[in-house]
Amino acid sequence: MVTIRLHNSRTRVKEEFVPIDPGNVRVYVCGPTVYDRAHLGNARPVVVFDTLFRLLRHVYGAGHVTYVRNFTDVDDKINATALARKEAGAAGSLEDLIAERTEETIRWYHDDMDALGALRPTHEPRATAYVGQMIAMIGALIEGGHAYAKEGHVLFRVRSFAEYGRLSGRSVDDMIAGARVEVAPFKEDPMDFVLWKPSDDSLPGWESPWGRGRPGWHIECSAMSLALLGASFDIHGGGIDLQFPHHENEVAQSCCAHPEAEFARVWMHNEMLQVEGKKMSKSLGNFFTVRDLLEKGVPGEVIRFVFLGTHYGRPMDWTAEKAAGASSKLDDFVRLVAQFGNLEKAKDLQPDDVIVAALADDLNTHAALVALENLANTARYDDLARNLDFLGILSFAQLEQRIEVRDSAMQLLKPYAANLAAMREAAMATKDFAPVDAMKAGLLAAGVEVRMSKAGVELLPGPGFDAAKLEGLV
RNA sequence: GGCGGGUUGGCGGAGAGGUUACGCAGCGGAUUGCAAAUCCGUGAAGACCGGUUCGAUUCCGGUACCCGCCUCCA
């Protein structure tokens, strides 16, 4: 059995991973709040934890891993978006518009993350389907003295949980000292956070013992992980920006509601994404979504390949140069597999030991990519294909499709190659290479790679191959 | 102000207390009608200052700079 070691941000140490139940390894990752298209930063945890999912499935068996990633579909930003639509004259009730918005966003999210080669998690619960469980958990917290109701709100009593701040390495007193938040009058303590808040008639709401209202942020993840994974599970993941307050609050809620359990054993946090060396933000104008990239012609596998090039625990810088490099590297891989590989044989292979070992070492994806390259350099093309699939970069289906496209382009280019060979033959005798060069220029403009050697002429479809531009070439 | 992370060759980016990372780019050569592709070869690093050590880029301390979080942003 492969030994997996993971950096646990709770203990700040790389530890050997020992599942609670090897027959059912349980992972929870914070998913998106579905109010808009996923931006590129949202994609990083998806790729990181998809890679973890693939590793765990390989090591423990595909049927022995439960991966939960939620959709937070109750949120004031969603309400605001829906309200803006309504004010802009959209038909339907606010509730309809909210439902429409979340449905649409979830569909987009699936489309975009599918394009990145991310497997669908085992469960993708929606917060609105677990409001009952949230209310139950909040009730238990009040009963246990960890929460209190006031003015229609229910607040978590941070001082009731001695461990509060441990996950993120903060002390409650320090945070209060440096706090910049305005303290609501109904809070016993400035750090107390909202579990439930009242909704007026214009907002979505659920009946509760504290009146009609809606859950605060944080409680949905505690309720859904409990419902789907139990009070103790193996790994909890998300972006480092969620470590505080979101994850800290989750720990507080879950551990106080279930003091007998340990909640998440291992916490994994991915570092942030930057763009050309800067934080991605709307104000800097370098903000873009996954869809923007896909539409610009940067395919999902290129995005994934670039992501895997940097360890998840490090800030990742997205640059156009990296994307271009990844693209040409992947083209090389596809060419090698197409020319020398056999996909049917590849499908019977196991993932490469070196690559599995790299992933098992706290998801050292960069080392895995180096190993991938080594497979290419040592002529192990079937292994190359197998591991491209394993890593989720290019699935067998995608490889097949790209090889097909390549093959048909090669067919198309055959007569041109013959033609060019003849012209070159003639030019060798006359020493007039002008027509050959003209033809070559035309082919290059159509994105064709032109290779001429003693052995003959070879034409290959390059990255920007455009069959339409062949028109008019002899 | 509090907390956390980082600083490796031209660029990207790893591991390891003492032996080439690797990729891209560069340079030299082979090859080519010219190229492309390919192959062979090759230079180049560890922010700064101290400490531990026979030996540190790798451990410890400090300095500088950068980044993130503390605001329902992954």
pLDDT score at A284: 67
Burial tier of A400 (Cβ tally within 10 Å: 0-12, 13-18, 19+): middle
A332 beta carbon to strand B: under 7 Å? yes
pLDDT digits (tens, 9 = 90+) for A316-329: 888 888 888 888 88
Residues 290-319 of A with CB under 7 A from strand B: 309-311, 314-317
- Residue A197 makes CB contacts below 8 A (sequence gap 6+) with A152, A153, A154, A213, A214, A215, A216
Cα gap A263→A256, rounded to integer Å: 10
Highest mean pLDDT among A32-36, A177-181, A344-348, A434-438: A344-348
Q: What is the ipTM of this complex?
A: 0.83
- C-alpha dist (Å) from residue A74 to A113, A191, A276, A297, A340: 21, 23, 33, 33, 51
A45 beta carbon to strand B: under 7 Å? yes
Q: How does the average pLDDT of chain A come out, rounded?
A: 88
Cα gap A399→A388, rounded to integer Å: 9
Specify whether the CB–CB gap between A177 and A165 falls below 8 A.
no
pLDDT digits (tens, 9 = 90+) for A197-216: 999 888 888 999 999 999 98
Which of the nucleotides lies closest to A44 (Cα–C1')? B74
Q: Is the per-residue pLDDT at A66 higher than 80?
A: yes
Average pLDDT, integer, range A230-236: 94
Which of the nucleotides lies closest to A38 (Cα–C1')? B74
Average pLDDT, integer, range A332-338: 89
**Bases of chain B with protein Cβ within 7 A:** 1-6, 11-15, 21-24, 31-39, 67-74
Place A187 in a pLDDT band, splitting at 50, 70 and 90: confident
Q: Is the per-residue pLDDT at A241 higher than 80?
A: yes
A267 against A275, higher pLDDT: A267
Average pLDDT, integer, range A241-261: 91
A439 beta carbon to strand B: under 7 Å? no
Place A188 in a pLDDT band, splitting at 50, 70 and 90: confident
Residue A329's nearest CA partner among A296, A377, A363 is A377
DSSP annotation of A129 reads G
B27 C1' to A447 CA distance, Å: 29
Global confidence as pTM: 0.92
A377 against A211, higher pLDDT: A211
A175 beta carbon to strand B: under 7 Å? yes
pLDDT score at A22: 96
Count of positions (residues) in chain A? 474
pLDDT score at A322: 84
Highest mean pLDDT among A73-77, A127-131, A410-414: A127-131
β-bridge mates for residue A460, sequence order:
A449
Helix (H) or strand (E) holding A385: helix A381-390
Which of the nucleotides lies closest to A431 (Cα–C1')? B33
- Would you list which residues of A are annotated within the binding site for Zn(2+)? 30, 221, 246, 250
pLDDT digits (tens, 9 = 90+) for A4-58: 988 888 887 788 899 999 999 999 999 998 888 888 888 999 999 999 999 999 9
A173 against A252, higher pLDDT: A252
Q: What percent of chain A has pLDDT over 70?
A: 97
B26 C1' to A332 CA distance, Å: 22
Hey, what CATH topology would domain A17-270 get? Answer: Rossmann fold (3.40.50)
Q: Is the per-residue pLDDT at A453 higher than 90?
A: no
pLDDT score at A264: 92
Helix (H) or strand (E) holding A268: strand A263-270
Q: Is the per-residue pLDDT at A239 higher than 60?
A: yes
Residue A393's nearest CA partner among A300, A301, A297, A293 is A301
pLDDT score at A120: 96
pLDDT digits (tens, 9 = 90+) for A96-153: 888 888 999 999 999 999 999 999 999 999 999 999 999 999 999 999 999 999 888 9
pLDDT score at A287: 78
Residue A444's nearest CA partner among A464, A427, A428, A424 is A464
Q: Where are the domains of chain A?
A: 17-270, 274-394, 409-470
B17 C1' to A106 CA distance, Å: 50
Q: Which of A204-208, A227-231, A347-351, A428-432 has the lowest mean pLDDT?
A: A428-432
A77 beta carbon to strand B: under 7 Å? yes
B72 C1' to A245 CA distance, Å: 9
Amino acid at A154: V
Six-digit token pair at A454?
């003693």
B67 C1' to A248 CA distance, Å: 22
- Residue A318 makes CB contacts below 8 A (sequence gap 6+) with A40, A273, A274, A275, A276, A280, A306
